[in-house]
A = this chain, B = another copy of it.
Amino acid sequence: MKNFISVSDVPNIDAIIKKALQYKSNPLMDVKLGKGKRLVMVFLNPSMRTRLSTQIAASNLGMESTVFNVNNEGWAIEFEDSVMMNGDSVEHIKDVAPIFGQYFDVLAVRTFPLLKNKNEDYREHCLNQFIKYSGLPVISLESATLHPLQSFSDLITIQETIKPTKKPKVVLTWAPHIKPLPQCVANSFAQWMGAWGKADFVITCPIGYELDKKFSTNAQISHNQIEALKDADFVYAKNWSSYSQYGQMPSVDTQWMVTSEKMKVTNQARIMHCLPVRRNVEIGDDVLDNPTSLITQQAGNRVWAAQTILADILNTNFQP
């Protein structure tokens, strides 16, 4: 692949899952692939798992990586064209991105939605400007609307866990939070589940919290959480703010926290979350502390997801 922005960049999901599991059992099998290549990881928003797992992935491929936190170390970037820059932004993406192109071989970047204007966020302007002006292969480390490395890691985790005898039921359930969050993890998970196609996939959320339909074409939608959870094999809990009342948190008249009581209706489902999780707000302690929780495994698989994508980018863009 040239870039990795969404599942659409992946020609064969099963093939990359297989590759990721090979890296998991043999992390250094391609340790010479990235020799002499440099990755820059640009963060417009803070990161822990994404930063650490991608750095390790690069190291496993023998690649140098450098982190650049725009807010801590740099300055505000202007993304709009033709602006008179007499305000807070110090530097234009047109001038910044080509510099990364001068210094590095691959650009990984995390952008984020402002959650104020749906069209602004959903056109992925910041990410696209990085692609347009850097001249480098670009890996999304989460964007305004998607988080493909997370979804890839989620799918690796499901693949490791499913029993071959039964098509699994996977339920993505909205969960409460104290502030409005992006839709990107949910959008992306729905998109990957749809593209994978090997599960019965249900999204359950309160009325008003339906995702953008283009990401959830193959999903059943339910507004009854308990109904949805019935016989689930995997329960992915996640908060997101409203897409229709964009970025708002319309009030909800039932309890949506995932509790061990609710989990009883599932098929001893494994709980999933992308982290960070608000304990006893999104999911109860007793669910998270249960050994069937997959959340640490999901985060651990971020390394193999990133390594697989980086290796593919290197193979595609720098073939000898």
A residues near B, CB below 8 A? 28, 36, 38, 40, 46-49, 51-53, 55-56, 59, 64, 66, 68-69, 72-75, 78, 81-87, 90-92, 94-96, 98-99, 101-103, 178, 275-281, 285, 288-289, 295-296, 299-300, 303
Contact = CB atoms under 8 A, between A and B. Distances in A.
Contacts of A73: 46-48, 51, 69, 72
Given A94-B288, A285-B82, A103 B52 contact: yes
B56 A90 contact: no
Contact of A72 (B72, B78, B295): B72
A100 B59 CA distance: 16
Indicate how many identical chains form the complex. Answer: 3
A84 B259 CA distance: 13
Given A83-B279, A90-B276, 11 more contacts: A48-B99, A55-B66, A59-B64, A84-B281, A85-B281, A86-B278, A86-B281, A95-B296, A98-B296, A99-B275, A102-B299
A273 to B, nearest CB: 9
A249 to B, nearest CB: 13
A85 B279 contact: yes
A191 to B, nearest CB: 25
Nearest to A273: B95
A296 B285 CA distance: 48
Contact of A278 (B36, B85, B299): B85
B277 A91 contact: yes
Contacts of A178: 86-87
A12 B209 CA distance: 62
Given A48-B68, A74-B48, A300-B102, A95 B295 contact: yes
Contacts of A52: 40, 66, 68, 99, 103
Of the candidates A59, A85, A98, the one having the most CB atoms from chain B within 10 angstroms of its own CB is A85
